[in-house]
């Protein structure tokens, strides 16, 4: 089934303790679409770039069978540029430069073709804009949304309105605590469900992710890597794997959501092993399935008889 | 097979945001032995208490089929007393009072019967004392050891000497980082293996535990509880379940170590639901197996064909 992805495309400069990459492909929509493209050939991208966006990166997105007919190219402005520097532990970072450029005027009109998309993945955007997009979609099977502390702080009411329309919220632990005003993550998830989304995924970085759906809780570890090269885009890559798998299968059962979380986790673990998008630019299906298999070894244990 | 447990017995006063318990049964050896007693009837306790230690608590330990012939009762000193207060998040606590009392002169002589124990569980003690105990044991099948930041800081050389004799180290994440001087936990475990222990378990509190053995890594989540009542003894209860299962089965395969970690995690999750030892005082086997089953639901996912 088709997957509509709305979010940012950027040229990022990234510094980690292991090196620096200059004006490399970034942005939520980029990571989500690329990650999802390994699961379905029906990814539809909506975003905006500037006149400086490299043609080879447009060709790259096309090579992943991503429909880029919703990609606007500004003739007067440059592409969104972010320069970030990660600290030694890779868990914290500072933004050195954030130039919105063309992205500042992002206000997408969804084409007739895209309006009928069955799965919708809203990257981290102003919740008002997310809602405006949703109002244009006919009758989707599932709407997933990401957000961040910045909007919880600065656009709380808009966010609450948007969440009423969302089925699946993917959020990190500190954001879940801030949004729900609950410290305990189980309590936080229950409270956020009351805002609208009936499926909540809380990402905990190196500690993995928690899936809440009905009364079911599922835990996925993060893949224990000795070297994380660059965490940029890990959350979006997770969302792309998750939504790619759901779009491919069209199955919203608890059983299949668990698999989607594992595919998301596997894709994210592959992404952080290299700089920016490089970890997921050219994966084979066997690389993905091998990593999926590693997650099974990491988490599964045998049945035992009564002690 | 027999399990020798050496550690502290205490009367703790505990304050959490949910209430206060005064002079309630505590100490590493208490939690370890009680937790292990659900798996094997051959738990052997070595420790020291004061003249004020309640007879009913001695009767309780006996009721769990724990061999307390190694329990020394001081006629002149009181029992080790700790008064701790947990902060709102339950992840941090302050020690209000620490009175070592009888425990200050703890210098155990292991009886002839106990010297032949196959499994040895060293609670958190001065590493010099841990080593002194180990020198008295004949030919154990497995030695497990716990430690803490206090000894890594203050008795580093003694700890390194003790670790040479230890097969399995159970340690929390901050301790693993401090001991190894590695931030990444995979790197930390590899480095600690060079000190001696070939099996490392890193506890991450609410984020679960990591098992490292040969090249294998296994992850266990913490059970996602909405209300944690009192985290006191969670780590020792984990160690008790772990070592209880290993002693019961005598099986040191990777497959069985995974099960031991899950049993440890299940026991710890039951412990923190009530104050001090109350969560594991009177469990039925079906309560433990139900919680074990919950861990399977939390972590297992289906096989899938190639994407």
Chain A residues with CB inside 8 Å of B217's CB? 224, 298
- When CB atoms are compared, the residue of A226, A297, A302 closest to B186 is A226
ipTM for the complex shown: 0.92
* CB-based contact, A219 to chain B, within 8 Å: yes
A249 pLDDT above the threshold of 60: yes
In which region does residue B75 sit, left (phi positive, over 0), alpha (psi from -120 to 50) or beta (all else)? alpha
Q: CB-side exposure of A121: number of CA atoms within 13 Å?
A: 36
How far is the C-alpha of B281 from the C-alpha of B279, rounded, in Å? 6
Q: CB-side exposure of A295: number of CA atoms within 13 Å?
A: 31
- When CB atoms are compared, the residue of B38, B184, B225 closest to A226 is B184
Q: A307: distance to nearest CA of chain B, Å?
A: 7
Three-state DSSP state, B188:
helix
Contact across the interface for B224 and A185, Cβ inside 8 Å: yes
pLDDT in the model for residue A87: 85
Indicate the average pLDDT of chain A.
95
* CB-based contact, B215 to chain A, within 8 Å: no
How far is the C-alpha of A140 from the C-alpha of B299, rounded, in Å? 30
Chain A residues with CB inside 8 Å of B228's CB? 184
Sign of torsion over alpha carbons A212, A213, A215, A220 = negative
**In terms of Cα–Cα distance, which of B235, B236, B240, B213 is closest to B222?**
B235
Name the pairing type of β-strands B43-49 and B67-73: parallel
A305 pLDDT above the threshold of 90: no
B225 pLDDT above the threshold of 90: yes
Shortest CA distance from A220: residue in chain B: B299
B174 pLDDT above the threshold of 60: yes
A70 pLDDT above the threshold of 60: yes
DSSP label of A77 = S
Interface-testing mutation among B172, B224, B285, B302, with chain A (most A C-beta atoms within 10 A): B224
Three-state DSSP state, B211:
strand
* CB-based contact, A251 to chain B, within 8 Å: no
A106 pLDDT above the threshold of 90: yes
Find tokens 């089965």 and name the residue: B249
B306 pLDDT above the threshold of 80: no
- When CB atoms are compared, the residue of A217, A224, A306 closest to B298 is A217
Instruction: Identify whether the C-beta of residue A236 lies closer than 8 Å to the C-beta of residue A31.
Output: yes
- When CB atoms are compared, the residue of B185, B225, B307 closest to A224 is B185
Contact across the interface for A302 and B245, Cβ inside 8 Å: no
Contact across the interface for A208 and B221, Cβ inside 8 Å: yes
pLDDT tens track for B69-113: 999 999 999 999 999 998 877 778 889 999 999 999 999 999 999
Q: B6: distance to nearest CA of chain A, Å?
A: 24
pLDDT in the model for residue B88: 78
B229 pLDDT above the threshold of 90: no
In which region does residue B199 sit, left (phi positive, over 0), alpha (psi from -120 to 50) or beta (all else)? beta
Three-state DSSP state, B142:
strand
Residue A110 tokens read as 């969804």
B305 pLDDT above the threshold of 70: no
Rg (CA), chain A: 18
Q: What angle do CA B242, A295, B233 make, to 5 degrees?
A: 25
Interface-testing mutation among A299, A300, A305, with chain B (most B C-beta atoms within 10 A): A299
Contact across the interface for A297 and B216, Cβ inside 8 Å: yes
pLDDT tens track for B271-291: 999 999 999 999 999 999 999
Instruction: Identify whether the C-beta of residue A307 lies closer than 8 Å to the C-beta of residue A263.
Output: no
- When CB atoms are compared, the residue of A183, A204, A219 closest to B298 is A219
pLDDT in the model for residue A105: 92
Instruction: Identify whether the C-beta of residue A225 lies closer than 8 Å to the C-beta of residue A272.
Output: yes
Contact across the interface for A259 and B301, Cβ inside 8 Å: yes
Could you give all domains of chain A from N- to C-terminal order, each with its CATH number? 3-299 (3.40.1190.20)
Instruction: Identify whether the C-beta of residue A236 lies closer than 8 Å to the C-beta of residue A172.
Output: no
Contact across the interface for B208 and A217, Cβ inside 8 Å: no
pLDDT in the model for residue A306: 57
Buried b (16+ CB within 10 A) or exposed e, A123-152: bbbbbebbbbbbeebeebebbbbbbbeebb
**In terms of Cα–Cα distance, which of B97, B26, B36, B101 is closest to B65?**
B36
pLDDT tens track for B185-201: 999 999 999 999 999 99
pLDDT grade, residue A132 (50/70/90)? Answer: very high
Residues B109, B113, B117, B122, Cα dihedral to 10°: -20
Shortest CA distance from B220: residue in chain A: A299
Three-state DSSP state, A127:
helix
pLDDT tens track for B115-133: 999 999 999 999 999 999 9
Determine what percent of chain A is predicted with pLDDT higher than 70.
99
pLDDT grade, residue A212 (50/70/90)? Answer: very high
pLDDT tens track for B237-264: 999 999 999 999 999 999 999 999 999 9
**In terms of Cα–Cα distance, which of B83, B79, B95 is closest to B20?**
B83
Interface-testing mutation among A173, A251, A265, A301, with chain B (most B C-beta atoms within 10 A): A301
Strand order in the sheet with A142-146: A67-73, A43-49, A3-6, A119-122, A142-146, A168-172, A199-203, A209-213, A216-220
Contact across the interface for B183 and A221, Cβ inside 8 Å: no
Contact across the interface for B304 and A292, Cβ inside 8 Å: yes
How far is the C-alpha of A54 from the C-alpha of A56, rounded, in Å? 5
How far is the C-alpha of A276 from the C-alpha of A57, rounded, in Å? 13
Q: Determine the length of chain A.
A: 307
Chain A residues with CB inside 8 Å of B207's CB? 204, 207-208
Chain B residues with CB inside 8 Å of A259's CB? 301-302, 304
* CB-based contact, B298 to chain A, within 8 Å: yes
How far is the C-alpha of A240 from the C-alpha of A260, rounded, in Å? 10
Shortest CA distance from B222: residue in chain A: A219
- Touching A: B residues 7-66, CB under 8 Å: 38-39
Instruction: Identify whether the C-beta of residue A104 lies closer than 8 Å to the C-beta of residue A116.
Output: no
Residue B4 tokens read as 């020798």
Rg (CA), chain B: 18
Shortest CA distance from A211: residue in chain B: B298
Beta pairing partners, A47:
A71
Contact across the interface for A300 and B300, Cβ inside 8 Å: yes
How far is the C-alpha of B15 from the C-alpha of A130, rounded, in Å? 45
B3 pLDDT above the threshold of 60: yes
pTM: 0.94
**In terms of Cα–Cα distance, which of A204, A213, A301 is closest to A254?**
A213
């Amino acid at each position: 089934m088709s997957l509509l992805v709305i979010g940012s495309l950027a040229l990022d400069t990234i510094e980690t303790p292991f090196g620096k990459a200059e004006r490399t492909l970034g942005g939520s929509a980029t990571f989500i679409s690329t990650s999802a493209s390994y699961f379905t050939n029906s990814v539809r991208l909506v975003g905006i770039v500037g006149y400086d966006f490299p043609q080879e990166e447009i060709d790259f997105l096309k090579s992943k069978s991503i429909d880029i007919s919703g990609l606007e190219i500004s003739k007067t402005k440059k592409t969104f540029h972010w320069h970030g520097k990660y600290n030694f532990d890779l868990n914290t970072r500072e933004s050195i430069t954030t130039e919105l450029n063309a992205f500042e005027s992002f206000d997408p009109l969804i084409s007739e073709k895209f309006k009928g998309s069955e799965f919708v993945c809203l990257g981290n955007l102003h919740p008002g804009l997310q809602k405006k997009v949703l109002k244009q979609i006919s009758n989707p099977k599932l709407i997933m949304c990401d957000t961040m502390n910045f909007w919880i702080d600065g656009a709380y009411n808009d966010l609450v309105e948007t969440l009423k329309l969302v089925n699946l919220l993917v959020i990190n632990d500190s954001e879940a605590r801030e949004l729900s005003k609950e410290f305990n993550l189980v309590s936080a998830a229950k409270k956020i469900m009351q805002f609208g989304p009936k499926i909540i995924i809380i990402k905990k970085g190196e500690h993995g992710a928690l899936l809440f759906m009905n009364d079911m809780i599922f835990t996925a570890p993060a893949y224990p890597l000795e070297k994380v090269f660059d965490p940029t885009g890990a959350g979006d890559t997770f969302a792309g794997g998750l939504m790619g798998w759901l779009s491919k299968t069209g199955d919203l059962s608890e059983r299949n959501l668990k698999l989607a979380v594992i595919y998301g986790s596997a894709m994210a673990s592959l992404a952080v092993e290299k700089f920016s998008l490089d970890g997921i630019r050219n994966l084979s299906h066997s690389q993905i399935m091998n990593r999926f298999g590693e997650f099974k070894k990491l988490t599964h244990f045998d049945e035992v008889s009564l002690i």
